[in-house]
């Protein structure tokens, strides 16, 4: 019988060998069976009475009883065929472990874990149950520690193994927590990512078999966070059950979730067994990191708030854990390695004038024999560079800390960046102690970022770091340290070296933070590569990501908040264009996103701020300081999520419920869009007299705001010029243009230059109006210049979106004629930037000309002219701001770019349209058609084969280009590639062609389907990858063509799997087109065209795919309506897209 819980008591209750752990809303129960095994009965909602428990009947057959019960510490080799939580290997023998219950004890409070970070608490806060197990065959003792924090509904577990035998054993597997959940359907929530896109929320169904993830980098990593949750399939942010599991560890880890044949779901988290193999000598003990598990009946949000409160109160040891954080400015993005005392002090002085309270000197201050002038030297030599700091850091720090920040009663504080775990090969430390570097025998030591890693498993290395960093901290008045870590572990002497490294690192952390408790420590690992509870034990805040782009940060910070409190996150306002993505976002939006973090600051050079930005910063700083207490200590409610809503929002509620702070933002501006109250979490606490501290709403690209009068820049009178928005809104809207239009249909501007001109109010009004599409149709195009060519292209794109291909063709024709008149391809340019921009305009015009001409059935006008060189490298071009590419530069741009690949494909595209035209005119015989198709197909194949690996269509490359702001351009290239392929082979879908070209037609039909599938998949990938969603109207047209190919597959396939896949594609295509329909008038026409095609299929499957004049218009004239296809023999076949619901009214889809 399991122990009852009278009067709702919490903590640990024991009745014989039956155990119950109770929080306010959770119960965890298990017992010892007749064989000495520990079996679980319940982990979930609070149970105050006796839990009904029906023993599992004895079974015989293929598997035994151990495979059919819920075990607390499953082993391997005795009949449990699911994933083990513990595995030990004996020298030259077996790996069986038969642990049996021996005894238990209940301890008030919580014992510390030797050498490991762990939660803590007094006897009033926590109670611990220790269950002792013993294997009397091999003399191994295992202790399972369960600590209950009732106020947080948290059960914390760790496992220790002690070798009581006479020979060394090897621990191969050790999970900190293993629980078998009852038969039910679950989803798993986790946090995935990469550098610059950490903590991306992921939710997936738990299916039969093993699913999970792990880090093998030596550290918790950007790729996966040491956390997962199991939730009921109906669980939301505010409702339903959620079980969270968070590992208090900073090294390699593994998560395994296995749904077994009996329906139980086993969930485990702990050390990564691939990097363990821990030798355990006689009388030695290995203790696992602890896992914090929490239960919530109030959805994922309730689970998060339990973790947040527990970590603030019982994990973070720093005195700053619940303190207001000083507003800081970090020098990195302003100075990089180009620093000296004068520049540093001047920046600190300007920062103080704005109200910044803490100045942080980042990388580049150290190194004597090997000065840190770049990332190639100096790491490991933690002494100030005597050439930059003749008298050390002390005198300069004294000057800076004597400054009085604006509106402050205290002096400026000073902080420093360090990376003590790393060493450059070019350093005194590496020269003097090469044996201190992690390595594996005689294998080469792999450099990454010009760095090697010190072996912190060695006591002498630990002492060196502790002493050298202590010397730095004692040399000046330093009150903040940013501890960075910029690479993964490669070679190690042993598999066990990974865990030994972490134990050494934790010793260093413990010693330094204890010696210097008044220093605010911040953890960093190329951003959020080591954002985990283990670090939070010592450092109360973590640099959440190197990506400071505010739009990207919303997803990163919302994801991180699933586990970590806002007080543990750092968010800064950085310069624009953003150094990671190239995006320009308004100051107010950047500020509000950064204020969602407990530590708020700046990554920019104050001297480069515009006057209106500089005047706004003191108010922004004052606002951040006003709301920081509730952000640091309040309970966080995610009201709506960025993955689900254009208006993500979060609310912070004070502990007593008397104050609340709400922040929401618009990711993409929509006309008349506003946050809808019915999407918000209605379970948020409400209290009479509750004060709303502030309700902040911001947008990445706001709707029209105050109006200014601007001149027309000498380009003639412009009607409506008095309605141009103010400068900040212009920057917002132009930024949206560069995000969603530029580089996808044309590339005619140099984004950094144009953005800077807009910010300074110097951009030609005609271009601004064209880009923001306010009064573009009223512009005067009489001036023959590059500016007017750009304007004509903008107007053509505008009329394309409005569904008027004739006017589009007119404006493109104007641009073509002007380009010819001024010889755009070779006209003089004042700088390399201007020359490259002219090249990009020419090629954009060439590509638009092919599309626009074919859209109205006319031949292209620019294809016969001699082209200029192909466009240059996109990254260099988009990020250069008249620096490396100024007129004095002798270097040319590398002639390799996504835009140049798009231009190459466009040349093939023009030939494909010529082929179709010749085909329907009957000017070619069958063999000649086949020859031309084969030739063009070979051109497409050769184009792809010639691509470098980093430009091929892979998820990794998509993510890579997205990380530098080129994800949408990457997608645009492949939308063209797959669309041109499906067009080339489209005529072979028709049965007559398959009879005429017996040798190739079937293969060509298969290729058409493959290109169509590729097009669909790249668009799906784009919409599921941050910064890659393609929202241009032409996507609707290519999806219509791809959908007709999918309909052909649906009509002709006999494979159930292929039919199911095809239906899913059609459904997703409709979803995307409907989303685009909210943005572009032309999408209504696209959907109508698809309905007409569907009707034609119902009348005659045999004739619908015939390449005739009607089909040519359907495939080519994307901007015009098509008539019903009537020139067919009616069959009235019973074909319809059942389940997709394509009707005459596309709004019913």
| Paired sense of beta strands 649-653 and 659-666, if any | antiparallel
Residues 6+ apart with CB under 8 A from 971: 744, 958, 1018, 1019, 1021, 1022, 1028, 1030
Name the catalytic one among 484, 549, 873, 880.
484
As a whole number of angstroms, the distance between CA 27 and CA 5 comes to 10
- Torsions phi, psi for 351 (to 5 deg): -65, -45
Nearest to 1098 by CA among 1073, 1124, 1061: 1124
Nearest to 37 by CA among 11, 75, 64: 75
| Cβ atoms within 10 Å of 429's Cβ, excluding its own | 21
The answer to whether the beta carbons of residues 589 and 559 sit under 8 Å apart is no
As a whole number of angstroms, the distance between CA 33 and CA 334 comes to 65
Q: How many CA atoms lie within 13 A of 830 on its CB side?
A: 2
- Locate 61 and state its tokens: 């057959």
Nearest to 907 by CA among 958, 976, 956, 855: 976
As a whole number of angstroms, the distance between CA 796 and CA 849 comes to 10
As a whole number of angstroms, the distance between CA 541 and CA 325 comes to 10
Active site residue 207: no
Q: Using CA of residue 863, residue 868, residue 869, residue 872, what is the dihedral sign?
A: negative
Nearest to 358 by CA among 599, 145, 620: 599
Burial class (CB in 10 A: 0-12, 13-18, 19+), 717: exposed
As a whole number of angstroms, the distance between CA 1003 and CA 982 comes to 13
Placement of tokens 């600590």 in the chain:
147
| Chain centroid offset of residue 163 CA | 43
Cα–Cα distance list, 889 to 205, 874, 884 (Å)? 55, 18, 6
As a whole number of angstroms, the distance between CA 19 and CA 24 comes to 17
- Locate 281 and state its tokens: 């000598």
- Locate 758 and state its tokens: 């807009």
Angle at 86 between CA 81 and CA 92, to 5 degrees: 90
Name the catalytic one among 67, 363, 532, 546.
546
Coil, helix or strand at residue 514: helix
The answer to whether the beta carbons of residues 570 and 544 sit under 8 Å apart is yes
The answer to whether the beta carbons of residues 777 and 770 sit under 8 Å apart is no
Cα–Cα distance list, 683 to 239, 304, 414, 651, 657 (Å)? 9, 14, 43, 12, 13
DSSP annotation of 285: E
Placement of tokens 């003792």 in the chain:
141
Active site residue 681: no
As a whole number of angstroms, the distance between CA 747 and CA 730 comes to 19
As a whole number of angstroms, the distance between CA 497 and CA 489 comes to 10
Residues 6+ apart with CB under 8 A from 679: 639, 640, 645, 647
- Locate 204 and state its tokens: 């997936």
DSSP annotation of 746: B
| Cβ atoms within 10 Å of 941's Cβ, excluding its own | 12
As a whole number of angstroms, the distance between CA 400 and CA 477 comes to 10
As a whole number of angstroms, the distance between CA 936 and CA 1004 comes to 12
Placement of tokens 């075990």 in the chain:
71
Catalytic annotation, residues: 484, 546
């Amino acid at each position: 019988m399991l122990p009852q819980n009278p009067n709702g008591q919490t903590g640990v209750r024991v009745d014989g060998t039956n155990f119950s752990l109770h929080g306010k809303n959770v119960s965890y129960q298990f017992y010892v069976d007749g064989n000495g095994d520990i079996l679980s009965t319940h982990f979930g909602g609070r149970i105050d009475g006796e839990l009904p428990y029906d023993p599992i009947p004895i079974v015989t057959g293929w598997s035994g009883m151990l495979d059919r019960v819920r075990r607390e510490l499953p082993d391997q080799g005795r009949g449990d065929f699911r994933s083990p939580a513990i595995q030990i290997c004996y020298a030259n023998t077996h790996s069986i472990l038969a642990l049996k219950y021996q005894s238990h004890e209940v301890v008030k409070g919580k014992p510390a874990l030797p050498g490991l970070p762990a939660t803590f608490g007094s006897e009033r806060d926590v109670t611990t149950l220790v269950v002792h197990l013993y294997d009397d065959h091999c003399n191994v003792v295992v202790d399972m520690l369960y600590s209950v924090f009732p106020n947080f509904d948290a059960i914390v577990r760790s496992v220790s193994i002690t070798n009581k035998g006479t020979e060394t054993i090897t621990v191969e597997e050790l999970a900190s927590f293993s629980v078998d959940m009852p038969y039910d359907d679950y989803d798993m929530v986790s946090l995935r990512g990469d550098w610059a896109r950490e903590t991306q929320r992921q939710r997936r169904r738990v299916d039969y078999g093993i699913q999970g993830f792990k880090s093998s980098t030596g550290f918790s990593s950007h790729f996966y966070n040491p956390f997962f949750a199991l939730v009921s399939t109906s669980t939301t942010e505010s409702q339903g059950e959620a079980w969270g599991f968070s590992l208090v560890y900073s090294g390699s880890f593994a998560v395994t979730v296995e749904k077994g044949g009996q329906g139980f779901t086993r969930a485990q988290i702990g050390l990564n067994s691939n990097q363990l193999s821990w030798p355990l000598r006689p009388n030695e003990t290995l203790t696992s990191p602890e896992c914090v598990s929490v239960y919530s009946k109030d959805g994922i949000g309730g689970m998060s708030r339990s973790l947040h409160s527990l970590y603030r109160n019982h994990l973070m040891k720093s005195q700053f854990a619940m303190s207001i954080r000083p507003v800081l400015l970090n020098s990195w993005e302003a100075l990089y390695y180009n620093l000296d005392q004068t520049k540093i002090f001047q920046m600190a002085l300007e920062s103080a004038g704005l109200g910044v309270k803490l100045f942080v000197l980042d990388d580049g201050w150290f190194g004597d024999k090997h000065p840190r002038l770049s990332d190639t030297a100096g790491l490991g030599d933690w002494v100030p560079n005597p050439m930059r700091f003749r008298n050390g850091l002390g005198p300069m720090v004294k000057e800076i800390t004597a400054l009085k920040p604006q509106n402050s009663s205290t002096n400026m504080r000073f902080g420093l960046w360090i990376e003590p775990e790393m060493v450059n090969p070019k350093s005194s430390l590496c020269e003097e102690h090469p044996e201190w570097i992690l390595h594996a025998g005689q294998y080469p030591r792999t450099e990454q970022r010009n760095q090697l890693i010190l072996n912190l498993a060695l006591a002498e290395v630990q002492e060196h770091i502790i002493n050298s960093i202590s010397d730095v901290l004692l040399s000046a008045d330093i009150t903040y340290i940013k501890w960075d870590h910029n690479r993964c572990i490669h070679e190690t002497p042993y598999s066990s070296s990974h865990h030994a490294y972490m134990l050494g690192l934790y010793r260093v952390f413990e010693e330094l933070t204890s010696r210097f408790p008044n220093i605010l420590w911040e953890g960093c690992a190329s951003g959020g590569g080591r954002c985990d509870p283990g670090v939070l034990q010592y450092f109360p805040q973590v640099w959440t990501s190197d990506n400071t782009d505010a739009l990207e940060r919303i997803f990163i910070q919302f994801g991180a908040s699933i586990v970590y409190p806002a007080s543990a996150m750092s968010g800064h306002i950085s310069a624009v264009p953003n150094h990671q993505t190239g995006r320009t976002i308004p100051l107010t939006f950047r500020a509000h996103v950064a204020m969602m973090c407990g530590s708020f600051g700046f990554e920019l050079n104050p001297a480069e701020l515009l006057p209106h930005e500089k005047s706004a910063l003191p108010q922004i700083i004052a606002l951040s300081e006003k709301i920081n207490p509730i952000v640091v200590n309040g309970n966080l409610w995610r009201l709506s999520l960025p993955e689900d809503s254009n208006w993500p929002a979060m609310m912070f509620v004070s502990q007593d419920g008397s104050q609340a702070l709400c922040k929401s933002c618009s990711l993409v501006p929509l006309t008349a869009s506003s946050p809808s109250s019915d999407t918000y979490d209605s379970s948020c606490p409400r209290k009479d007299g509750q004060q709303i501290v502030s309700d902040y709403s911001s947008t990445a690209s706001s709707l029209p705001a105050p109006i200014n009068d601007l001149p027309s820049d000498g380009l003639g009178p412009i009607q409506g010029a008095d309605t141009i928005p103010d400068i900040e809104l212009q920057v917002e809207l132009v930024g949206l243009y560069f995000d969603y239009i530029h580089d996808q249909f044309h590339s005619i501007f140099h984004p950094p230059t144009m953005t800077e001109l807009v910010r300074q109010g110097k951009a030609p009004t005609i271009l601004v109006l064209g880009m923001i599409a306010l009064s573009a149709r009223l512009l005067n195009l009489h001036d023959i210049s590059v500016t007017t060519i750009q304007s004509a292209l903008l107007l053509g794109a505008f009329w394309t979106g409005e569904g008027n291909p004739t006017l589009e063709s007119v404006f493109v024709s104007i641009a073509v004629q002007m380009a010819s008149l001024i010889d755009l391809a070779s006209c003089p340019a004042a700088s390399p930037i201007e020359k490259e921009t002219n090249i990009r305009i020419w090629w954009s015009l060439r590509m638009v000309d092919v599309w626009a001409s074919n859209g109205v059935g006319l031949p292209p006008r620019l294809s016969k002219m001699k082209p200029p060189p192909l466009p240059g490298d996109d990254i260099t071009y988009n990020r250069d701001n008249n620096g490396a590419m100024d007129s004095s530069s002798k270097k040319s741009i590398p002639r390799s770019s996504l835009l140049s690949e798009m231009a190459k494909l466009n040349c093939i595209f023009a030939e494909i349209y010529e082929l179709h035209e010749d085909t329907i005119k009957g000017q070619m015989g069958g063999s000649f058609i086949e020859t031309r198709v084969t030739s063009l197909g070979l051109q497409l194949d050769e184009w792809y084969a010639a691509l470098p690996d980093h430009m091929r269509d892979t998820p990794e490359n998509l993510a890579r280009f997205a990380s530098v702001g080129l994800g949408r351009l990457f997608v645009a290239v492949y939308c063209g590639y797959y669309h041109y392929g499906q067009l080339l082979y489209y005529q072979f879908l028709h049965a007559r062609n398959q009879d005429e070209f017996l040798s190739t037609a079937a293969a060509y039909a298969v290729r058409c389907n493959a290109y169509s599938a590729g097009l669909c998949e790249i668009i799906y990938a784009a919409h599921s990858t941050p910064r890659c969603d393609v929202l241009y109207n032409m996507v609707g047209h290519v999806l219509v063509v791809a959908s007709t190919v999918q309909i052909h597959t649906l009509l002709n396939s006999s494979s159930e799997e292929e039919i199911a896949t095809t239906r899913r594609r059609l459904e997703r295509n409709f979803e995307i087109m409907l989303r685009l329909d909210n943005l572009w008038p032309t999408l209504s026409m696209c959907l109508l065209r698809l309905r007409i095609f569907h009707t034609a299929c119902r009348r005659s499957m045999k004739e619908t795919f015939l390449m005739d004049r009607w089909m040519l218009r359907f495939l080519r004239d994307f901007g015009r309506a098509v008539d019903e296809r009537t020139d067919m023999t009616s069959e009235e076949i019973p074909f319809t897209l059942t389940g997709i619901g394509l009707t005459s009214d596309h709004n019913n889809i």
